[in-house]
């Protein structure tokens, strides 16, 4: 399922990105959940969340020319493309890649940690922005200046690890009126918080958020490349 990297020597150094994998699967979360999608996973992340399920993307990867990435995406023949990581925005040329994918007519989403400025991202991209809870261990990395940039085309995601995290997320939701800006998603951190418990809390509080389970984890138990 994984794509093989093209000849790195052929790529022009100006337009290259470090890529861990490009593969086709079902989108497992957020608004596009359930759609066959091509995932472009960029290598590297400056964060170290306690629950990270893509630590294999922290290092390694191979250099790909942006033309070759777009060609590989086209080869899969689906409409939805998700640019993810790692933290994709940690590589500045990610902005170029996103623009190219939009120009090519794809429905493009970006999964980002919320720690890096999203202001340069093409407005055609649906930005799925994490807000890191205390349980992630990376609360201090939240770039709060990103929140006023969100539009209804975007989504905000909280991965909730505990009741303490839930109460923190609920307070952030209200303090920034996030639900008035865009869809807000709450997911339980797998193995840390029961999905049923989180669902019960959301219903009890009539919280204006969307509960979600990660489809790819239910279907394929988090296998890389699925
Ligand atoms: S931001 Fe994402 S990729 Fe980076 S450590 Fe956290 S969960 Fe992992």
- For atom 5 of ligand 1, the residue with the nearest CA is 48
What does the pLDDT read at residue 224? 64
Q: How far is CA 29 from the centre of its chain?
A: 9
- What does the pLDDT read at residue 164? 98
CB-CB contact of 65 with 6 (8 Å): yes
Query: Would you give per-residue pLDDT tens digits along the chain (226 residues)?
Result: 455 455 444 445 679 999 999 999 999 989 999 999 999 999 999 999 999 999 999 999 999 999 999 999 999 999 999 999 999 999 999 999 999 999 999 999 999 999 999 999 999 999 999 999 999 999 999 999 999 999 999 999 999 999 999 999 999 999 999 999 999 999 999 999 999 999 999 999 999 999 999 887 788 876 766 6
Which residue, judged by its Cα, is nearest atom 6 of ligand 1?
49
Task: Please state the pTM of the whole predicted model.
Answer: 0.92
45 lines ligand 1 (CB under 6 A): yes
Instruction: Give residue 51 CA to ligand 1 midpoint distance, Å.
Output: 8
C-beta separation of 28 from 54 below 8 A: no
The structure tokens 């493309």 sit at: 81
Listed by start position, the domains of the chain span 8-220
Pick the CATH number of 8-220 from 3.30.450.20, 3.50.90.10, 1.10.10.10, 3.20.20.70: 3.20.20.70
Tokens coding 104: 């090519």
């Amino acid at each position: 399922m994984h794509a093989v990297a093209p000849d790195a020597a052929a790529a022009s150094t100006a337009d290259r990105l470090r890529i861990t994998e490009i593969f086709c699967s079902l989108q497992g979360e957020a608004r596009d959940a359930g759609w066959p999608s091509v995932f472009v996973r960029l290598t590297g992340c400056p964060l170290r969340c306690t629950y990270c399920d893509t630590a294999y993307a922290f290092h390694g990867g191979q250099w790909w020319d942006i033309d070759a990435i777009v060609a590989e995406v086209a080869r899969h023949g689906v409409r939805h493309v998700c640019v993810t990581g790692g933290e994709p925005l940690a590589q500045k040329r990610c902005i170029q890649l996103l623009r190219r994918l939009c120009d090519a007519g794809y429905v493009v989403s970006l999964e980002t940690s919320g720690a890096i400025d999203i202001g340069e991202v093409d407005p055609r991209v649906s930005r799925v922005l994490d807000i890191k809870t205390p349980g992630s261990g990376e609360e201090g990395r939240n770039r709060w200046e990103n929140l006023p940039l969100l539009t209804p085309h975007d989504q905000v995601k909280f991965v909730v690890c505990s009741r303490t995290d839930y109460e923190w997320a609920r307070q952030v939701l209200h303090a920034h009126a996030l639900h008035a800006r865009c869809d807000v998603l709450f997911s339980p951190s797998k193995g840390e918080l029961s999905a049923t418990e989180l669902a019960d809390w959301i219903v009890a509080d009539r919280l204006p958020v969307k509960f979600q389970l990660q489809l790819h984890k239910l279907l394929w138990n988090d296998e890389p490349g699925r």
